[in-house]
Amino acid sequence: MRWLAAILLAPTLGCAAEAPEDFAFAVPLEIDGREALYEVELPASVYQGVMRRDLGDLRVFNADGEQVPFALEPRVPQQKEKGPSIAVKVFPLYGERPADLEGLQLRVEKARSGTVVSVQSDGGKPATKRKLLAYLVDASTLERPYEALELDWRQDAASFATNLRVEASDDLRTWASVASQAPLVRIEYGGERLEQRSIEFQPRNAKYLRLSWPAADQPLEITRALVRTSETLPEPARAWREVQASAGEQTGDYVFDLGGQFPVERLRVDLPQDNTIARVELQSRQNTSQQWRSVASAVAYRLRQQGQQVVSPDIAVGVNGDRYWLLRVDQKGGGLGSGMPKLNVGWVPVKLVFAARGKAPFQIAYGSGGVQRAAYPIETLVPGWRTQSQVALAQAHTLPERLLGGPEVIRPKRNYKVWALWTALDAGVILLAWMAWRLSKQMRSADQAAQKKESATG
């Protein structure tokens, strides 16, 4: 039976470890040689050469051709950042009585930048004949929403308290309530201070705020005003690639080949002419044998206004690894006119961590049609790894791509290991069946011989 065991074990004994030449391309790595673990951002050439979307045909080898442990870093969730407080201008508004505030006529003078430089109220009557009724806050130059107003004021007494009414407007004529009774307090007693200077509200983009107080309260003499902008979710750093279009089968269709499996998250449509507006649909597919599938719809534009170019914002598409994209333009209004559009694709590059085991230089090898995923979980490779609290790692640097096994290793290979194993198993089954048949035949012959012997003696 030894020869049967040898047949069954032959496929595993004949398996060779993966070598750099089993992969089509490589990116050499530069390291300082002093650390155990290194981190590197995958360059665009990797996405162009891999065969699997999950980067399963990627390895790291040392100078002796030995594979070393590596892991792909997971995407770190972005944390919201608290917005800064920005100083804004405040202008006093005068009138004869608080009831006149709703009908108060304002004349605003602005600089070229849009900043308010002066405000006149109530027909320009002398301020000595009028009362201070309110303040106008100029927030017209802010580029992001704001959610709080922080004030400072002058007071002679040790204690001051009032309730502010806060209203918002974009045209200085129509006002909407933001806060009806926002307390402002500053009380000093026994060497201690109680203070409330901040007014919080829902985030908004209104150009102007109007602050007023009850007629019976002491007028507020504001000396400083700050607007606190809203929290933001910062955009991660993205790599971008510009792709040229080719004409599609239908009028208004433009086809783009990204040349690789990039994990695309953002798209920018670069229109060929100024003052173009068009409704577009974006579709994608992994290969040319598949049907197009719809991904997103948007209005793309490129306008020239006051000497400045205004373009449509980026289009979010989740994470899409398809190689081929179709831009379908609505032909109403003449489509895009002459010229061909361009497509800019953006993605967050994956970071790779590897153990610097063995001799340098190291290299990232990729592009193979017959290998399985070999990356470790990041928690296994990097002790103490936490998504929210990353471990600081030394940085490796990539060099230009070079050829290893070439394009022929990209084609899916016949898995001879599996084929040999099944062949051995089939041979074993056939052998066992033959042995069972032979044993059964011998047993029948023995029974027949015994029966003949019994009849002869009887």
| Domain spans, the chain | 23-77+351-409, 85-229, 239-347
Position 436 scores a pLDDT of 74
| Chain segment 216-256, per-residue pLDDT in tens | 788 889 999 999 988 776 778 899 999 999 999 999 999 99
Report how far apart, in Å, the C-alpha atoms of 286 and of each of 146, 268, 293, 402, 422 are: 43, 20, 10, 26, 33
Q: Are 154 and 221 in contact (CB under 8 A)?
A: yes
Q: Are 324 and 254 in contact (CB under 8 A)?
A: no
Q: Are 403 and 409 in contact (CB under 8 A)?
A: no
Res 54 pLDDT > 50: yes
DSSP bridge pairs for 244 = 342
DSSP assignment string, 22-85: GSSEEEEEE--S--SEEEEEPPHHHHHH-SSTT-TTEEEE-TTS-B--EEEPPPPPPPPBPPPE
Task: Output 382 or 125, whichever has higher pLDDT.
Answer: 382
Res 157 pLDDT > 80: yes
The verdict on whether omega for the bond into residue 74 sits within 30 degrees of 0, i.e. cis, is no
| Chain segment 268-312, per-residue pLDDT in tens | 999 999 999 999 999 999 999 999 999 999 999 999 876 778 899
**pTM, entire model:** 0.64
| CATH no., domain 85-229 | 2.60.120.260
DSSP 237: P
What top-level class would CATH report for the domain 239-347?
A: mainly beta
Report the sign of the C-alpha dihedral through residues 243, 248, 254, 258, in that order: negative
Res 12 pLDDT > 90: no
Position 9 scores a pLDDT of 41
